[in-house]
Structure 1
């Protein structure tokens, strides 16, 4: 897969290039790329973890977590190791080597389901958020929790692109607090009031790679982009068909929206089976709404994607429902997507 210069016009040509089915027709609940963009990993309700070559669009290997379940599989800075959350038995976070399918470490402390997991972009630091209303900080080199925030409700979490701070979006208080990683235990250095989420509430929070914006995805008819420095609402992303929050929130902590690598574009899943492209440099209307610059068509007869990921090193997307689909610019898609 060749490197393609990032541009909004190239993003608008993305097409499905390969579809892979390795979760036994069960829902995929999380999707992640490694730092190099060479690999992707998924976890699903079939209690399996699947590793893929993003460059080749091929399946590499399977791992199973039948006793504990698997969700929120996230690469560490080693492409052959991940962390993931349990879905049954206990609420432990597991650190797994994909090379030999052996556990490196366990992170114990949460008293309820872990619904968000985030690895620092620059270090071996891990953030987790749980239905026990806590956010915990971990060091991958130690099994002991490095710090705990006791909050009033479940929260969404995200590191900034430099790994110096992290955001905690409180869904009940409708605010976003920014904390310094180096001053863990201190009060947030900034707190922004958030607009009320439309539909069934917030789905995820993400910083753009240039650090300018924070994206708050929802289950409603608007996603919100705010200024990361002032907290001001800059864009109301509209024009998509909202996804429905699943009854058991089995995809909680996963995202159906994502920034492009350059931070100019936002991609989002739409219930009509399309991938929506918003260009943040387009003009918003008098009500602050930004309409799509393009709607990308999924493969014929494909299910509507429910989660989405952006390759950090190339012009590639991945989407998933019960199958994983890689997307490439049109010039790199020589034939209809093949299924495995």
Structure 2
């Protein structure tokens, strides 16, 4: 089955999980798409088997809280931000439920955390207006950038370049091997509406564009080489200025976003037009939504976790 509009429109909730008692704040697939990890405001990390549609493991982090959980390149390990006591990032063995290492340095809430897709480095950004580069093998910060506002950051698919969103105005591109020399490119997309913050950056899987999520009612797609605005996606609901995740499908063709109204919105990345809005089992805002990197499957979360599958038969598949 190919990922075409008819398939996207046919997506339905195949399984829902109601074990969380509070909002799920982050979801992430493993590189092979076989597992998913979530963190939530009820201090739980839950690992799912995406092939069997079952929960494999629940880990509690009552002492430190948990946010922005990410699988490492070894999916038996993860990193996560803390919500209690301090702003240390914690590196955990999921199999042993033991912490391997702590990454201290941020002095305010960590709001962005992204693993390098090709090695053991990762980026963190905090409300202390810094972005830090880390290596899982060392407690010491490998690099520090001071910014003028809330940071967002993302690695490109090759893990050689990262983008930093600075003060919700500029996208700066850095070469990981020489980022202390400063950015090699800087873009300023369209002026943003007043009182709107950038809440996330993501490179498309083909590396050609960057998605900018905001606390407003627009998502921007910019060219990752020129910085020009390619598309502006709108139509979803966000009057409460929530941090709503937007993501790509693995072929970079479609952009998906959560919404305050509990629906999932889908647009064509090429044309910018809305393909559909999908209604699942969410009664509260959907803040997290991602497509599996390897399978025809989508995940979305409020305090309920939903796995979505196409409801078309393969012989019904048609280009639109």
The TM-score by the shorter chain falls in which range? over 0.9
Of 178, 183, 192, which residue of structure 2 is paired with 1:188? 183
Describe the superposition over 1:81-125 as per-residue Cα deviations: whole angstroms up to 9, x where unpaired.
Answer: 110001111111111111110111111111211111000011111
Preserved contact between residue 5 and residue 275 of structure 2 (Cα < 8 Å): no
Q: Does 1:7 align with 2:4?
A: yes
Partner of 1:269: 258
Partner of 1:60: 56
Describe the superposition over 1:158-180 as per-residue Cα deviations: whole angstroms up to 9, x where unpaired.
Answer: 001111110110125x1110011
Partner of 1:322: 303
1:154 deviation in Å?
1.9
1:26 deviation in Å?
0.7
User: Which stretches in structure 2 are left out of the alignment for 5+ residues?
Assistant: 314-320
Partner of 1:294: 276
Q: Which of the pair has the greater relative contact order for Cα pairs under 8 Å at 6+ separation?
A: 1
Of 201, 204, 211, which residue of structure 2 is paired with 1:208? 204
Describe the superposition over 1:54-98 as per-residue Cα deviations: whole angstroms up to 9, x where unpaired.
Answer: 122211111111111100000001122110001111111111111
- 1:1-340 to 2 correspondences below 5 Å: 4-23=1-20, 25-172=21-168, 174-198=169-193, 200-242=196-238, 244-246=240-242, 255-282=244-271, 290-299=272-281, 302-331=283-312
User: Which stretches in structure 1 are left out of the alignment for 5+ residues?
Assistant: 247-251, 283-289, 333-340
Superposed CA RMSD? 1.6
Distance across 2 between alignment mates of 1:296 and 1:154: 31
Distance across 2 between alignment mates of 1:76 and 1:136: 17
Describe the superposition over 1:229-277 as per-residue Cα deviations: whole angstroms up to 9, x where unpaired.
Answer: 100011011222226335xxxxx6xx52101101111011123332111
Distance across 2 between alignment mates of 1:243 and 1:157: 24
1:142 deviation in Å?
1.3
Deviating runs (4+, > 4 A) in structure 1? none
Partner of 1:287: none
Q: TM-score, normalised by structure 2?
A: 0.93
Distance across 2 between alignment mates of 1:215 and 1:6: 20
Distance across 1 between alignment mates of 2:165 and 2:66: 24
